[in-house]
Amino acid sequence: MRITTAAGVFDAIVAGPAEGRPVLLLHGFPQTGLVWQQQIAALAEHGYRVVAPDQRGYSPGVRPERPEDYRINVLVDDVIAITEELGWASFDLVGHDWGGAVAWWTADAHPGRVRTLTAVSTPHPGALATALRTDQDQRERSRYMINWRETPATEERMLAGDAEKLRATYAGKVPPASAEAYVRHLSQPGALTAALNWYRAGRPDGAIGVIDVPTLYVWSTEDIAFGPAAARETGQWVNGPYRFETLQGVSHWVPEEAPEALSRLLLEHLRAHGEYGTTTNTPSADSQKR
């Protein structure tokens, strides 16, 4: 599907019955909506309407050049614009990696629109900020984000030698066919720069608050980017019903490395907070946190 918004046209994978309870899946770096293919199939099979867009910079139809056009508030606005175009007054929101960060911020800004939140790998941004101040391990893990702000040096390094360093990012944990698809996609002119602009956009305009919607956070013990300090701290930033699940021996690439486990947890979370496979408890589209 192509979803036309004021910002441009987003490409998306869509599955499940049109009348099914809507679920939006947000990918991270350096991937596309393809990362969710196993979860898309599982959710659609159980009657959910699933949409997994290629986010800003990844969709050729929404690929501005300036880093400031990738600020977190703009990415949140994209989520709302996409769901409004789909006619979803409320929806379940799932995000991994950068998509997880966007999901946290969206749930904070629009709790009346987000029925449930599922964050995979990415801790609450407030918890991550605390860990960066207090935990040397997390500071070391996050150093790459500073390095990747170099331009165009980062793109040149990642794409040199048939994208050797970009391929190495997946650490052999992503299916080869998917990794090849990501590399091919991000090798398009301007695509990798757009994806890296998420890191170059600068700090958020404001502070994120405590999350009120039912939240599932899935963290894995071999995650190279997010350590245990931020993972444990995340529960302090959720007021609504909260479930924290740890996947032992799994790396950062959870949706593809542990697809069955993640799909099971996601289905359990959705069933626990809303009628099975249907659209219920849908507040007005203009419900927003002030």
Closest by CA to 243, choosing from 276, 220, 266, is 266
Which residues neighbour 273 within 8 Å (Cβ) at sequence distance 6 or greater?
A: 115, 116, 214, 241
How many CA atoms lie less than 13 Å away from 42 in the CB half-sphere? 17
Q: Per 3-state DSSP, what percentage of the chain is helix, strand, and coil (rounded to 5)? A: 45, 20, 35
Judge whether 261 and 233 are in contact, CB under 8 Å. Answer: no
The residue ranges of DSSP E strands in 142-254, in sequence order, are 215-222, 242-251
- AA letter at 74: V
Beta partners for residue 96, in sequence order: 120
* Separation between Cα atoms, residue 251 and residue 230, nearest integer Å: 16
Measured N-to-C along each axis, helices 176-186 and 191-200 cross at an angle, to the nearest 10 degrees, of 90
- Residues annotated as part of the active site: 97, 199, 252
